[in-house]
């Protein structure tokens, strides 16, 4: 990935990993647009980083995505990088779940259907750019699930699979497809901010950006802290790590 001279849209860009990526790419000389559902978070990000732009989008819902994509293209015709980062994570007790599965459906809509829908809406535009990148943000839990967040882990596993297929189908185009695989990072997702086991956000962003600026950029961006989860099956330690995580 060429990390300078781009116009980059980052969903979930008002906080956490999304904001960290936005600020890092902005510092490298890119035009960055952050999108998200919380206007206050977007305003705080743009106020702290003059030059970053923002657009409001609740990616959980299907209806606004096509109109949002058209707005982004109209306002930023040089858009050539999409980072699908927005996500929600909720604990679920499957023996006590809601009859309407509201939490599970919201998690799937936000973490899986949202990226698929936004990618589909922007793909014709990205194909017209001299070079373009789609980066999906999955999770180490896509490869080894945490049982108390079953739908989140399943949605991220599906996003990983979708990314593989997207890359294969776009291999003869000018669109590069990357996957950023975070470990447990200190963000407002679940209890990350208050848990000392979480990787500090600044450290994660710095290590991820170092990988992204390497040439050629690997298809999977894995910091050291996530490799135990990402390669649990390959290492032969899946059952041991699964038991430790879910004990």
Helix (H) or strand (E) holding 84: strand 81-84
pLDDT average, residue stretch 35-64 = 97
Specify whether the CB–CB gap between 21 and 205 falls below 8 A.
Answer: yes
Q: State residue 101's pLDDT score.
A: 95
- DSSP letter string over 8-58? EEEETTTSHHHHHHHHHHHHTT-EEEEEES-HHHHHHHHHHSTT-EEEE--
Q: What is the pLDDT of residue 58?
A: 95
Between CA 8 and CA 2 the distance in angstroms is 12
Under 8 Å between Cβ of 67 and 73: no
Task: Go through the domains of the chain in sequence order and give each one's CATH number.
Answer: 7-245 (3.40.50.720)
Return the structure tokens found at 90.
């909720």
pLDDT (0 to 100) of residue 192: 54
Average pLDDT, the chain: 96
Burial label for 18, CB within 10 Å (0-12, 13-18, 19+), is buried
Please state the rounded mean pLDDT for residues 201-208.
Answer: 98
Of the chain, the percentage scoring pLDDT greater than 70 comes to 98
Is 184 annotated as catalytic? no
Q: What is the mean pLDDT of residues 2-18?
A: 97
Q: Which two tokens stand for residue 115?
A: 């990226």
The pLDDT tens digits of the residues spanning 74-123 come to 999 999 999 999 999 999 999 998 889 999 999 999 999 999 999 999 99
User: Which position among 152, 162, 184, 204 bears the catalytic label?
Assistant: 152
Confidence of residue 190 (pLDDT cuts 50, 70, 90): confident
Would you list the DSSP string of 161-197? HHHHHHHHHTTTSSEEEEEE---SBSSSSTTGGG-TT
Task: Decide: 132 and 123 in contact? Cβ < 8 Å.
Answer: no
Tens digit of each residue's pLDDT (9 = 90 or more) over 159-187: 999 999 999 999 999 999 999 999 999 99
pLDDT bucket at 231, cuts 50 / 70 / 90: very high
133: left (phi over 0), alpha (psi -120 to 50) or beta: beta
pLDDT at 194 over 80: no
Token match 């819902």: residue?
61
pLDDT reported for residue 17: 98
């Amino acid at each position: 990935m060429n990390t300078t001279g781009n116009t980059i849209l980052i969903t979930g860009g008002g906080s956490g990993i999304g904001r960290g990526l936005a600020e890092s790419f902005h510092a490298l000389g890119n035009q960055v647009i952050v999108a998200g559902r919380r206007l206050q978070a977007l305003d705080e990000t743009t106020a702290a980083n003059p030059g970053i732009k923002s657009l409001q989008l609740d990616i959980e819902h299907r209806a606004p995505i096509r109109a949002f994509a058209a707005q982004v293209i109209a306002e930023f015709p040089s858009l050539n990088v999409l980072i699908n980062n927005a996500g929600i994570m909720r604990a679920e007790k499957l023996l006590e779940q809601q009859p309407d599965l509201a939490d599970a459906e919201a998690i799937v809509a936000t973490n899986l259907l949202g990226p698929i829908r936004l990618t589909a809406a922007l793909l014709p535009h990205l194909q017209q750019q001299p070079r373009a990148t789609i980066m999906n943000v999955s999770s180490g839990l896509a490869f080894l699930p945490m049982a108390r967040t079953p739908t989140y882990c399943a949605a991220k596993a599906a996003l990983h699979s979708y990314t593989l297929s997207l890359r294969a189908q776009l291999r003869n185009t000018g669109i590069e497809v990357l996957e950023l695989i975070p470990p447990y990072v200190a963000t407002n997702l679940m209890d990350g901010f208050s848990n000392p086991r979480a990787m500090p956000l600044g450290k994660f962003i710095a290590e991820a950006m170092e990988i992204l600026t390497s040439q050629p950029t690997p298809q999977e961006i894995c910091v050291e802290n996530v490799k135990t989860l990402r390669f649990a099956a390959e290492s032969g330690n899946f059952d041991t790590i699964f038991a430790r995580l879910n004990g």
